[in-house]
Structure 1
Amino acid sequence: MKFYKILTSLFFVYFIFAGCKKAGADSVAVLLPANLSVAANVSVDGSGTVAFTATATNAVSYAFEFGNGQVKTVPSGITTYQYTTIGTNTYTVTVTATGSSGAVITKSAQITVNVKTPGTELLWSDEFNVDGAPDPIKWKYDIGTGSGGWGNQELQYYTNRPENAVVINGALKITAKKENYSGMAFTSARLLTQDKFVFKYGKIEVKAKLPAGVGTWPAVWMLGNNIQTVGWPTCGEIDIVEHRGSELNKIFGTLHYPGRSGGNPNGSTKIIANATTEFHIYTVEWYADAIKIYVDNQLFHSVANSASIPFNHDFFILANVAMGGTFGGAVDPNFSSASMEIDYIRIYK
């Protein structure tokens, strides 16, 4: 009887021990990650951006290996990554899901990403191919003399007449004329995209032939769209191309902002040939980290962009021919008229 009791007790202890062991094994199994899935939403805008979503049961973190040596770990399984290699490339993305026990499960997926060269996707343009008035959907006019000759003691009265602005033979012609008009000795035109088109960052390309004549001051340029609330130069100004008839063929590329405006701008010049007799291409590359100014693909001024200068918000385009003023200087008394011709203005993402 004593032996039977001992045997019964041993069996009971074994049963409890085995039962506890089985329950523990089951609890560990519950913590194993399972059912891992990986989804990728590839942007079609050429930016190289891909939004990833990984899900798994019992997972507490996800490690993404993006197929190019870069690794990122996130607890949610949701992340965005930007590929930067130009062209169309296929990557094998591997995701490792980890459970709280340290156990892992892995899954791979292939994605194809197209990264365009910056500045190749057209955002906005005017080719000036339709004769007549400039496209009213794209352009409006500044009219009159502005405050103190637009703040620069300029001598012209800006109009919206075809005598001063017209599209003809595939180009926009902005013409400054010597004539008495509303109390001023000259007329011209100033066109702008304000309230019609604004943008932030990109490549701006202008193909233009500049006017000759001492006292002329042609420009294609940009102003911050917040100018009406913060004023100039707080809004920022980017001069894509400026020229003055007293210094033929000297191209100015300039930034204006607080501390570097008026007679103390941040700019450079480049001497070219035939600025007033041939078309040349004037370009600004404007990005979050840099602003670069070119003529005929030759870089002649570069500025590091940052949050400390006002070039990280929307801007609009302007094109005009001024007469005289603080930059244009004295006008040749024999001046009669001169035109800036713009073949196109193109803005790329």
Structure 2
Amino acid sequence: MRKSAFCFIGFFILTLSPTSYAGWEVQWIDTFDGDGVDWSSWTAQTQANYNNEVQCYTDDDYSDRRNYDVSNGTLKIIARREINSCVTLNGATKGWTSGRINTKDKREFLYGRLESRIRFHNLEAGSWPAFWMLENRIQEQPIKGDDDFVHWPNRGASEIDVWEWFSNEPDTYITNFFNTLPGSCGAEYRYHYPNGGQDVLDWHRYAVEWTEDLISFYIDDTLVVSRDMSRCSRYEEPMFALLNVAMGGNLGGAIDPNLSQVVMEVDYIAHCQISDSNSAAFCDESLPYDDAELPPTPTTPPTNDDQSPSTPEAGSNSYGLIVGLFMLFCLRRRSRFLNA
């Protein structure tokens, strides 16, 4: 009887055990596979003029001097040294052109994981690339009049920096929060590259995982820092993504006089929500996706190397084998007991 009770309790515990850890499902992704910026997802923020920076942001993804080059499956945001009269800043004279794009009003996110795979091409002084987020009611381009009249960094216009790198402090990058609340709403943290500034030249996945009570930052599979947001009343409404390269100014600093061009290269950017269909750690094009948000995948049948929502997880197969062996053990024990 004790053996029967053991089998019953063990089987009950096993059947309650989860078959796999929660992973991610893509809600939106841009893999930059075309020949220009997908303006249905992005807006060129040409009216941005902050921090005493010296660039004029453009929407140019077509000319010989373009600031956005989509080719070979990546986006290159290119800052170029050229004296110009910036039309979108009332003719202000600027020494550089560059790119700043955001997904405001087009692709906005509430919680989940926002991830981008990025490398930077230059270590010379003066550049300031960033991958970051803003709350969607900020009074910044594009302005639709849908309650987006809030000034930074008040409620509705707070900021989260996922990856912000300064070439004049090349060994680290910044994760940071900007809001008008003190104390319990995050803080700056600097991640030190293991090999110093040289690491920025290599591809890395930069990501933020965001819930109502916790915000965590990652580089590749390394947790950089987590922040308890349970006492923070911010970051509980949709945000949008930004990618840009600033030059000079308060944080970019003095620009190398021999520098004429810098490049930030982006392989993809994606937003995911938690899913129990897999145990993926990253948010990229290999994952299942929400049909309501993304176009259908090609009709080519998946190969053994493809990841498909209908393919059983290895963890699920192992779990099923364990349950089956346990049941066989119990049945054999029960048979011996009855034949005794």
**TM-score range normalised by the length of the shorter chain:** 0.5 to 0.7
Deviation >6 Å, runs of 4+: none
Q: Which residue of 2 aligns with 1:269?
A: 190
Cα distance, 1:265 vs structure 2: 7.6
**In structure 1, how many angstroms separate the alpha carbons of the residues matched to 2:60 and 2:245?**
14
**In structure 2, how many angstroms separate the alpha carbons of the residues matched to 1:303 and 1:265?**
6
Question: Which letter maps to 2:191?
Answer: K
Contact 2:176–2:186 (Cα < 8 Å) also in 1: yes
Q: 2:52 aligns with which of 153, 161, 169?
A: 153
Q: Which residue of 2 aligns with 1:224?
A: 135
Cα distance, 1:211 vs structure 2: 3.9
Question: Which letter maps to 1:137?
Answer: S
Q: Does 1:215 align with 2:126?
A: yes
Question: Which letter maps to 1:258?
Answer: T
Contact 1:211–1:218 (Cα < 8 Å) also in 2: no
Contact 2:125–2:167 (Cα < 8 Å) also in 1: yes
Q: Secondary structure at the match of 1:125?
A: strand
1:1-349 alignment, distance < 5 Å = 86-87=18-19, 117-118=22-23, 120-131=24-35, 133-144=36-47, 146=48, 149-150=49-50, 152-162=51-61, 163-182=66-85, 183-212=93-122, 213-228=124-139, 229-234=149-154, 235-259=157-181, 266-272=187-193, 273=195, 274-306=198-230, 308-349=232-273
For normalisation by structure 2, the TM-score amounts to 0.64
Work out which of the two has the higher radius of gyration on C-alpha atoms and give 1 or 2: 1
**In structure 1, how many angstroms separate the alpha carbons of the residues matched to 2:107 and 2:133?**
12
Give the root-mean-square deviation of aligned CA atoms.
Answer: 2.4
Q: Say if 1:191 and 1:85 are closer, same or farther in 2 by CA, change over 3 A.
A: farther
Question: Which letter maps to 2:246?
Answer: A
Cα distance, 1:255 vs structure 2: 1.2
**In structure 2, how many angstroms separate the alpha carbons of the residues matched to 1:327 and 1:202?**
30
Q: Deviations over 1:296-324 (max 9, x none)?
A: 22112221113634110000000000001
> Structure 1: which 5+ runs fail to align?
1-67, 70-83, 89-115
**In structure 2, how many angstroms separate the alpha carbons of the residues matched to 1:86 and 1:316?**
33
The answer to which structure, 1 or 2, has the higher relative contact order (CA under 8 A, 6+ apart) is 2
Contact 1:86–1:117 (Cα < 8 Å) also in 2: no
Q: Secondary structure at the match of 1:230?
A: coil
**In structure 2, how many angstroms separate the alpha carbons of the residues matched to 1:177 and 1:86?**
53
Q: Secondary structure at the match of 2:188?
A: strand
Q: Say if 1:207 and 1:271 are closer, same or farther in 2 by CA, change over 3 A.
A: same
For normalisation by structure 1, the TM-score amounts to 0.63
Q: Which segment drifts farther, 291-300 or 334-343?
A: 291-300
Total equivalences in the alignment: 234
Q: Say if 1:211 and 1:153 are closer, same or farther in 2 by CA, change over 3 A.
A: farther
Question: Which letter maps to 1:267?
Answer: E
